[in-house]
Amino acid sequence: MDWLTEGVGIAIASILSSSIVAAIISNRAAYRSIAVEAITKERIVWLDELREVAVELTTKLAALNRQDFEATAGEIEAADRLIARLELHLNPDGSKEAQIMRLSEELRASAERKSEYRSIEKAFMRAVRDLLKEEWEKAKAEAGVKKKVNS
Find the CATH number of the domain harbouring 89: 1.20.120
For residue 83, tell me if it sits in a domain. yes
Confidence of residue 27 (pLDDT cuts 50, 70, 90): confident
Across the range 62-73, mean pLDDT stands at 83
For residue 6, tell me if it sits in a domain. no
Burial of residue 54, with CB atoms counted within 10 A of its CB: 0-12 exposed, 13-18 middle, 19 or more buried: buried
Across the range 91-106, mean pLDDT stands at 95
How many domains is the chain partitioned into structurally? Answer: 1
Model confidence pTM above 0.75: no
Q: What does the pLDDT read at residue 66? A: 87
Q: What does the pLDDT read at residue 61? A: 93
For residue 106, tell me if it sits in a domain. yes
Residue 90 Ramachandran class (φ > 0 left, ψ -120 to 50 alpha, else beta): beta
Average pLDDT value for the chain: 86
For residue 5, tell me if it sits in a domain. no
The b-or-e profile of 92-128 (16+ CB within 10 A means b, else e) is eeeeebebbbebbebbbebbbeeeebeebbebbbebb
For residue 18, tell me if it sits in a domain. no
Across the range 75-95, mean pLDDT stands at 93
Q: Are 108 and 83 in contact (CB under 8 A)?
A: yes
Query: In the predicted model, is pLDDT for residue 13 greater than 60?
Result: yes
Q: What does the pLDDT read at residue 151? A: 46
Q: How many CB atoms lie within 10 A of CB 57?
A: 24
Comparing 29 with 136, the larger pLDDT belongs to 136
Query: In the predicted model, is pLDDT for residue 112 greater than 90?
Result: no
Residue partners of 19: CB distance under 8 A and separation at least 6: none
For residue 24, tell me if it sits in a domain. no
Range of the domain at 61: 39-142
